[in-house]
Amino acid sequence: MNPQMSADSANKTGSRRSFVRPLFLVLGLVLVAAVIFAWAVPARSSTIPTISITSVVTDQTVTVQANNFPANQNFVVTMGPMGTQGINGTVVATTNSGVGGSFSATYNIPASLKGSERVSIRLQTSHTYPYYAYNWFWNNTTGTGGTGGIPGYTGVPTFSIVSVEAGKNVTIETNNFPPNQTFTMTMGPMGTQGINGVVVGTLNSGVGGVLKATFNIPAQYQAAYQIAIRAQTAHAAPYFAYNWFYNNTTTTGTGGQPTATPAPTTPVYTGTPTFTVCAVVQNTSVTIKTKDFPPNQTFNVTMGAFGTQGIGGYVVGTLNSGAGGQLTATFNIPPQLAGADRIAIRTQTAHAYPFFAYNWFYNTTATVC
């Protein structure tokens, strides 16, 4: 016997079936939204791409090595006169960064720049807040590959203090100076690196490498205890080196340092400070991890609206770099930025030519490193 379903029962069953379908639809939408939200909100740190010059064929091509590039981005490649950083230059190509990270690419030098002594090159995306990197190169073919400077020259120029005659002069010895360059020599108060100091002479590097030269101490620093000294060329992207010395006569050749309290050797810093965002507690704090920070520097830490790079932002603390390199630090999010979707954060020293690094993060609780 086949039981028959009453009209009332049929209506109820139909109602249940009608209700089940929208319920599954709602649950599906919730799951999709959850996946999208989970993907969208973790703290994300933007990369800072850089490029170096690996080789040049005069008036024909330049090959660059890209590093730390974000993935799946289209970079417009432009070249322009030296000093322009490639801004508003001639478009020579578009490069897709693919999986990101490091890659090599070769570009043709445009006709308008053939014959130029030096050329700027830039890679930049078309975003409102774009990724970009730039460098420059000598338009000369070299057998060993250029480095964005003098053909065949690599490394960083430095100099040491050989001797001091208190209140009178200082003798320096250079190392790895590029050839055929004129360096302006300046002296200033300790801690200034000689920036904007008193001009005390010039040094022509001749064949480069190792040179000795003596410079008079200017009248305003003849009684100073310690003095900064700097050598710098006049290029838009200059070669430079700096050091400092005790203003005491010695016969030991240790740079004028008192015998009883020898001065520490000033390290030569050649990196680019960066940092990543490791953790965020929404509206409360952010934790960063630095990389390649110079030693013994005090960085002011600021936060501001997304897109500002933290410039002119709210001061949230300081970071002393100590031995430099990699450090981890946590800073409170200022109340003025509570509720913001994204926040810019910046670290910067107070020098006339400061060290700095910046990044941004989603203001959502997350830990990524």
| 134 close to 77: Cβ distance less than 8 angstroms | no
On whether residue 146 sits in a domain, the answer given is no
The pTM assigned to this predicted structure is 0.37
Which of 74, 108, 138 is the last residue before a domain boundary? 138
DSSP track, 174-200 = EESBPSS-EEEEEEEETTSTTTT-EEE
Is 109 found in the same domain as 189? no
| 201 close to 195: Cβ distance less than 8 angstroms | no
- Residue 197: pLDDT band (50, 70, 90) is very high
Is 354 found in the same domain as 279? yes
Is 281 found in the same domain as 238? no
Give Cβ neighbours of residue 347 (< 8 Å, ≥ 6 apart). Answer: 273, 275, 288, 290, 299, 300, 301, 319, 356, 357, 358
- Residue 47: pLDDT band (50, 70, 90) is low
Q: How many residues does the chain have?
A: 369
Number of domains forming the structure of the chain: 3
The model's pLDDT over 271-289, given as tens digits with 9 standing for 90+, comes to 678 899 999 999 999 999 9
Is 332 found in the same domain as 280? yes
As a whole number, mean pLDDT of residues 9-30 equals: 48
Class of residue 174 by CB neighbours under 10 A (exposed 0-12, middle 13-18, buried 19+): buried
Is 165 found in the same domain as 125? no
Is 132 found in the same domain as 162? no
Is 321 found in the same domain as 242? no
What's the pLDDT score for residue 203?
Answer: 94
The model's pLDDT over 198-227, given as tens digits with 9 standing for 90+, comes to 999 999 988 888 999 999 999 999 999 889
On whether residue 299 sits in a domain, the answer given is yes
Number of neighbours of residue 257 by Cβ within 10 angstroms: 18
Is 240 found in the same domain as 280? no
| 226 close to 264: Cβ distance less than 8 angstroms | no
What's the pLDDT score for residue 327?
Answer: 92
CATH of the domain at 328: 2.60.40.1930
DSSP track, 328-368 = EEEEEPPGGGTT-SEEEEEEE--SSS--EEEEEEESS-EE-
On whether residue 203 sits in a domain, the answer given is yes
Interatomic CA distance for residues 22 and 256, integer angstroms: 85
The model's pLDDT over 309-328, given as tens digits with 9 standing for 90+, comes to 898 899 999 999 988 889 99
18-22, 62-66, 308-312: lowest mean pLDDT where? 18-22
Strand duo 212-216 + 90-96: pairing: unpaired
Residue 221 domain boundaries: 158-246
